[in-house]
Amino acid sequence: MSLLWTLALRGLPLLGVLVVVLVLLVVALGATGFSDRVLNASVHKPHVGVSAALSRACHSVRHCATMCSESTGHSPQGRARHLW
């Protein structure tokens, strides 16, 4: 029983240091905006491939709007002006 007690007493400061380091890491990453950049990159990454494919395939705004409507199922009415 004394062995468990000794290990518990030595483990508590280690857990405290772990919590402090994690809190400081979260604060540092949040203050630098790193998490925002990672989130934006992960959100916009699929759109890069679609954008590149559309730029190679589209010859006009109307053609691009038609291709988008076919792939998404939305009507191209009023959406062509937002593509470029």
CA 4 vs CA 7, 14, 52: distances in Å:
5, 15, 61
The Cα 71–Cα 77 span in angstroms is 15
- 17 vs 44 pLDDT, higher one: 17
Q: pLDDT (tens digit, 9 = 90+) per residue, 31-59? A: 888 877 877 777 777 777 777 776 777 77
For the chain, give the percent of residues with pLDDT over 70: 77
Query: The pTM is what?
Result: 0.45
Tell me the average pLDDT of the chain: 77
For the chain, give the percent of residues with pLDDT over 90: 27
- With 60 as the cut, is the pLDDT of residue 15 above it? yes
- 49 vs 7 pLDDT, higher one: 7
Checking phi first, is residue 17 left (phi over 0); if not, alpha (psi -120 to 50) or beta?
Answer: alpha
CA atoms within 13 A on the CB side of 39: 6
